[in-house]
Amino acid sequence: MSIEIVRDFFAWCSVINMGLLLFWFLMFSLARGWVYKMHSKWYRLSESSFDAIHYGGMTAFKMAFFLFNLVPYFALRIIG
């Protein structure tokens, strides 16, 4: 497996993960009421805990995205 293939893999992983994060953000910001209503049927959540869970989840996802996708991609760009 060459560096170019691994670099392309990380590039596409980054594109897909950024799309997922953007979708999550748009659903949370534009359809927040519908998402809260759907989740509150399954779990007993207050609106403030719902917001905190989603905000923390997006933060953790973004940090993992940077650490496991973008950093290896840029490292491979530097050495390649």
**CA–CA–CA angle 57, 21, 69 (5° rounding):** 95
Dihedral (C-alpha) 65, 22, 55, 72: value to the nearest 10 degrees? 10
Helices marked H in 31-70: 32-42, 47-65
Tens digit of pLDDT for each residue in 19-52? 999 999 999 999 999 999 999 999 999 999 999 9
pLDDT of res. 80: 80
Write down the pLDDT at residue 55.
Answer: 96
Q: Where are the domains of the chain?
A: 3-79
Note the pTM of the prediction, 2 decimals: 0.84
List C-alpha distances in Å: 32 to 5, 6, 12, 29.
Answer: 39, 37, 29, 6
Question: How far apart, in whole angstroms, are the C-alpha atoms of residue 76 and residue 11?
Answer: 10
